[in-house]
Amino acid sequence: MHDKAARLRKSRSPKADVGLGERLPPGQVLTERFPILHEGEVPAYDLATWSLRLFGTLANPVELTYADLQALPQRQLQCDIHCVTRWSKFDTRWSGVHLQDLLQALDIRPTSTFVMAHADHAYQTNLHLDDLLHPDSLLATHYDGQPLTAQHGWPLRLVVAGRYFWKSAKWLRGLEFTDQEQPGFWERNGFHLHADPFIEQRFSGDALDIAEDAWREKDFD
Ligand SMILES: Nc1nc2c(c(=O)[nH]1)N[C@H]1C(S)=C(S)[C@@H](COP(=O)(O)O)O[C@H]1N2
Ligand SMILES: [Mo]
């Protein structure tokens, strides 16, 4: 087991930024810089052999080249990002392909509710299909008008709206459509399945293992 969740739980919260209204999620601190966080080595690719696989419960799995992605409508996105380690960054600018456009171009109609994102090296994160179809999510190839740097996920990463940033897999290689929700890498290691920063879904196991109405059965003094 990875102990990152345990260490984060114990760490004292920094004094959270106030006065930023509803825009900064609770317990987060704003940064101007762009931190780099990941497990393992930064992968190297040859775009000629790189591919993105769509598989799982699809009628026909597909394997896309980088050129296939470039042939699709190129979308712009400006969004705020929130890392579970408590930094947030406002107004990040991305461009790339929207999953809706990709599915439409391939005439794929997924029947599943869930998607497991597969990335290098052996990184996975679980998502709801709706999260990926959100208008503020993207399969991003560019950041701030430039191709992604290797450290930030070149050639392709996810940007997932409304979730802590670990859901935004860098070095994306596959989207697996599934009927059951399986936990990804961090989700198996103490982090929350759904990761909504505005309600601080940071860790798993926060919920007490008792029925919601169990307190009614208790004695009160
Ligand atoms: N493939 C891969 N993607 C990943 C990770 C990783 O370890 N491997 N780390 C995640 C985490 S925890 C965060 S906070 C963001 C960081 O993205 P950045 O380095 O571009 O800031 O990438 C996410 N995507
Ligand atoms: Mo993270």
Residues 73-129: tens digit of each pLDDT: 999 999 999 999 999 999 999 999 999 999 999 999 999 999 999 999 999 999 999
- The phi, psi pair for 11, rounded to 5°, reads -65, 145
pTM, whole model, 2 decimals?
0.91
Within-domain flag for 32: no
Residues in contact with ligand 1 by the CB-under-6-Å rule are: 34-39, 83, 119-120, 123, 152, 165-166, 168-171
| Ranges of H-type helices in the chain | 4-10, 66-70, 99-106, 129-133
pLDDT in tens, 139-159: 999 999 999 999 999 999 999
Ligand closest to CA 43: 1
Give how many domains the chain has, as a whole number: 1
What does the CA dihedral 161, 166, 171, 173 come to, rounded to 10 degrees? -70
Within-domain flag for 188: yes
pLDDT in tens, 45-57: 999 999 999 999 9
CATH for 181: 3.90.420.10
Between 209 and 139, the more confident residue is 139
Q: Whose CA is nearest to atom 7 of ligand 1?
A: 38
Q: Which atom of ligand 1 is closest in space to residue 158's alpha carbon? A: 24
Domain that holds residue 128: 52-203
Give the environment of ion ligand 2: residues with CB less than 5 A.
37, 83, 166
Ligand 1 mean position to 165 CA, how many Å?
A: 7
